[in-house]
Amino acid sequence: MVASVAGVAAFAFATDLDASGTTRTVVLVLATLVVLGALLTRGSCATCERNPPRPRQTPESVSLQIELDQRPGLEQGDEKLTVTFEDGHRETMRLHEYGRVYAIPGLYEEVVQARLECASPATLAESLTREVVARGEEPQHLRALDLGAGNGVVAEELRDRGVTAQLVGLDSEPEAGPAARRDRPGLYAEYLTGTLEDVAVGPLVERQQLNCLIGAGALGLGHISTKDFASAWDAFPKGAWLAVTFPDSVLSRDGDDLSAYISALRRSEHGSEVTHLSRFRHRLRMNGQPIFYYVMVARRTH
Task: Determine contact, residues 102/176, Cβ cutoff 8 Å.
Answer: yes
Same domain for 198 and 91? Answer: no
pLDDT at 74: 93
pLDDT at 56: 52
Structural domain includes residue 280: yes
In a 13 Å sphere around the CA of 25, the CA atoms on its Cβ side amount to 3
Task: Determine contact, residues 124/189, Cβ cutoff 8 Å.
Answer: no
Q: Last residue of some domain: 114, 133, 161?
A: 114
pTM for the complete prediction? 0.80
Structural domain includes residue 40: no
Structural domain includes residue 53: no
Same domain for 84 and 185? Answer: no
Same domain for 174 and 269? Answer: yes
pLDDT at 255: 76
Same domain for 79 and 217? Answer: no
Same domain for 5 and 149? Answer: no
Domain of 227, CATH number, reads 3.40.50.150
pLDDT at 252: 86
Structural domain includes residue 136: yes
Same domain for 138 and 213? Answer: yes
Same domain for 9 and 156? Answer: no
Crossing angle of helices 21-50 and 2-18, rounded to 10°: 180
Domains: count for the chain = 3
Structural domain includes residue 259: yes
Residues in the chain: 302
Same domain for 28 and 107? Answer: no
Pairing of strands 144-147, 212-216: parallel
Structural domain includes residue 47: no
Q: Last residue of some domain: 50, 84, 114?
A: 114
Same domain for 133 and 280? Answer: yes
Same domain for 104 and 238? Answer: no
Q: Last residue of some domain: 114, 146, 180?
A: 114
Structural domain includes residue 52: no
pLDDT at 64: 87
C-beta neighbour count of 43 within 10 angstroms: 10
Distance in angstroms (rounded) separating the CA atoms of residues 216 and 195: 15
Same domain for 147 and 98? Answer: no
> Of 59, 56, 114, which is closest to residue 91 (Cα–Cα)?
59
Structural domain includes residue 43: no
Could you list the pLDDT tens digit for every one of the 302 residues in the chain?
Answer: 444 433 433 333 333 334 444 434 333 333 333 333 433 333 333 322 223 334 455 555 557 899 999 999 999 999 999 999 999 999 999 999 999 999 999 999 999 999 999 999 999 999 999 999 999 999 999 999 999 999 999 999 999 999 999 999 999 999 999 999 999 999 999 999 999 999 999 999 999 999 999 999 999 887 899 999 999 999 999 999 999 999 999 998 887 899 999 999 999 999 999 999 999 999 999 999 999 999 999 999 99
Same domain for 149 and 278? Answer: yes
Which domain covers residue 90, as residue numbers?
A: 59-114
